[in-house]
Amino acid sequence: MQMPGAVVGLLRLLQVSLLWSTVGCHANSEEQLEALLATETLLIDELREYIERLDQQLEEIRRETAAIEEIHSQVGDGVEEYMGNPLNVLIILKRFETMWPRLEQLANATHNISVRADRDMDLTLPTEEDYEEALSNLLHLQSVYELEPASLSLGVVNGMKLGSAMSWSDCLEVAMKSDAGVAKFWLETALDKLPPATNGTDHRSERERGKVQILEATLNMEYRAGELSEALATADELLLLRPMNQNVQKAKAKIERALAKTSAQLPSSRGTKTKANTKKSKSAEQLLIEELCRGATQEATTGGRFTHCELERSTPWSILQPGRVELLSSDPYIALHHDVLTLKQSDQLLGLMDLEEESGRGASHQPLKFSMLAQKKLRTIRHQLGHGSGEMDAWEGRRHGHEHTTRPEQSARGQHHQTRVIMLNLQAPGMGGAVVFPQLELGVNVPRGALLHWRARTPSTSEMDYRSRQAVCPVLLGVQVSAWTGLS
């Protein structure tokens, strides 16, 4: 362990003193000993202060490391489930941006870590783009499901505790990436999450520093939005904390000049333009899809009118195994077949698929590829549908997570000759992932092992039925894995 320069200098002084005492004048030996004792006392005091500083740094390292280890112990083998939570993804990326660099600085300050040149460590580290994408995904979910920042920052969605909470700095960063209307609520949430005003020096400094950053972001947002009166009040509040800050003084003077002029001046119009450009308009269909997605999170299945047991005698399979069918729509035909697969069968099919090429950012799902054995097992499901005619296409897998957007799905593998479409759910998410038909104002949560079946073309003209146009809602928690095919 290396020691600070002041301590090393004192030890060198001691060495010189001892050398001088062996060759110097013996008449002053008593005075020399007293001087050396005084030097030694000074050295002991310096080393004690050095040890105290090391203890404080090591204690902080132990505390932060224990907190991370506790999270890892809670995750255990459920890595997929943990990373299926968008808040967890955002927070773990945040740790690599803030906590780990600070721990590295503390460790380097103790000189306890020696970087070996021959150490070959292949570490996976997140990029800034990863963090930006995680923020964008969270904002997309908030927009679709109209999640309140105050609840979301506590890890609560629709009354369910997801287990992840956000700090005031997390809320501030989300606010800076949001539209002005949403950012306002995130900034208010960030203020509420600041440390309480106590006598502790550390908490008091963090609270003041955080409040200044939040007010600066608020001032910038309000000025760009043309809310000059609110911006002036924020500037006054900032000057109470930082009375000598020249930037805030200049901003206040600029706001006062703008208020003195007419409302048609540049700041107001520029703010309106920025706000209009920032907030992208949504189509009527997209707004309806989002409304259906929000409604589908409140019930296990929405839209079903009745459930009946169906016993057909056309095939030996249908005689031996009655099917429980929930008719959701008669025109166009949409039905939910329950208990098509057992949990064991679903797990077997999940093990017989591989990821295909990663879908690009903004894709509606991630494609999966079934093995030949899985295709053979899936072909037997056709008998449970009671359709003796028609040809079944090859099955394709789709993974829907919180990182995927919500937009109408295309036919499986782009095959436009399908008359009916089948979606078989192999893994249900914890929340979200409903299949919605905007033209019918219908939303369905497909249970695991169940099959959703609908007609894609009109029986009379064989044209694509626009009413069957469907989309998959974004997943709020967990991952949804499903198998898709078509009948022609």
pLDDT digits over 135-146, tens only? 888 888 888 888
Rounded Cα–Cα distance for residues 436 and 445 (Å): 9
Rounded Cα–Cα distance for residues 120 and 312 (Å): 65
Of these ranges, 119-128, 401-410, 460-469, the one predicted with the greatest mean pLDDT is 460-469
Give the pLDDT band of residue 375 (cuts 50, 70, 90): very high
With a cut of 60, say whether residue 71 has pLDDT above it.
yes
Of these ranges, 51-60, 220-229, 344-353, 405-414, the one predicted with the greatest mean pLDDT is 344-353
**Residue 267 pLDDT:** 47
In a 3-state reduction of DSSP, which class is residue 197?
A: coil
Q: How many Cβ atoms from other residues are within 10 Å of residue 184's Cβ?
A: 19
**Residue 316 pLDDT:** 56
Contacts 24+ apart (CB under 8 A), 123-127: 125/96, 126/93, 126/96, 126/97
Contact assessment for residue 130 and residue 93, using Cβ atoms and an 8 Å cutoff: yes
Mean pLDDT over 77-82 rounds to 75
Give the pLDDT band of residue 302 (cuts 50, 70, 90): very low
Which DSSP string corresponds to 430-482?
SEE--EEEGGGTEEE---TT-EEEEE-B-TTT--B-GGG--EEPPEEES-EEE
**Residue 317 pLDDT:** 52
The larger pLDDT score, comparing residue 312 to residue 404, is at 404
Rounded Cα–Cα distance for residues 360 and 92 (Å): 22
Mean pLDDT over 252-275 rounds to 63
Mean pLDDT over 460-476 rounds to 84
The larger pLDDT score, comparing residue 201 to residue 437, is at 437
How far is residue 87 from each of residues 109, 136, 313, 321, measured CA to CA in Å? Answer: 32, 12, 51, 43
334 φ, ψ (degrees, to nearest 5) = -140, 125
**Residue 445 pLDDT:** 92
**Residue 434 pLDDT:** 92
Which DSSP string corresponds to 200-244?
-HHHHHHHHHHHHHHHHHHHHHHHHTT-HHHHHHHHHHHHHH-TT
Mean pLDDT over 344-351 rounds to 92
**Residue 318 pLDDT:** 53
The larger pLDDT score, comparing residue 441 to residue 387, is at 441
Of these ranges, 36-40, 72-76, 125-129, 239-243, the one predicted with the greatest mean pLDDT is 239-243
**Residue 403 pLDDT:** 83
Of these ranges, 7-11, 46-50, 78-82, the one predicted with the greatest mean pLDDT is 46-50
The larger pLDDT score, comparing residue 104 to residue 226, is at 226
As a whole number, the mean pLDDT across the chain is 77
Give the pLDDT band of residue 413 (cuts 50, 70, 90): very low
Residue 27: what residue type? Answer: A
What residues contact 451, with CB distance under 8 A and at least 6 apart? 336, 337, 340, 381, 384, 385, 422, 423, 424, 425
Lowest mean pLDDT among 15-24, 158-167, 289-298, 386-395: 15-24
Contact assessment for residue 439 and residue 469, using Cβ atoms and an 8 Å cutoff: yes
With a cut of 90, say whether residue 360 has pLDDT above it.
no
Mean pLDDT over 199-227 rounds to 82
With a cut of 80, say whether residue 453 has pLDDT above it.
yes
> Minimal CA–CA distance to 149: which of 93, 433, 141?
141
In a 3-state reduction of DSSP, which class is residue 427?
A: strand
The larger pLDDT score, comparing residue 89 to residue 409, is at 89
pTM for the whole structure: 0.71
With a cut of 80, say whether residue 335 has pLDDT above it.
yes
Lowest mean pLDDT among 116-125, 193-202, 403-412: 116-125
* Percentage of residues of the chain with pLDDT beyond 90: 16
Of these ranges, 63-67, 88-92, 375-379, 461-465, the one predicted with the greatest mean pLDDT is 375-379
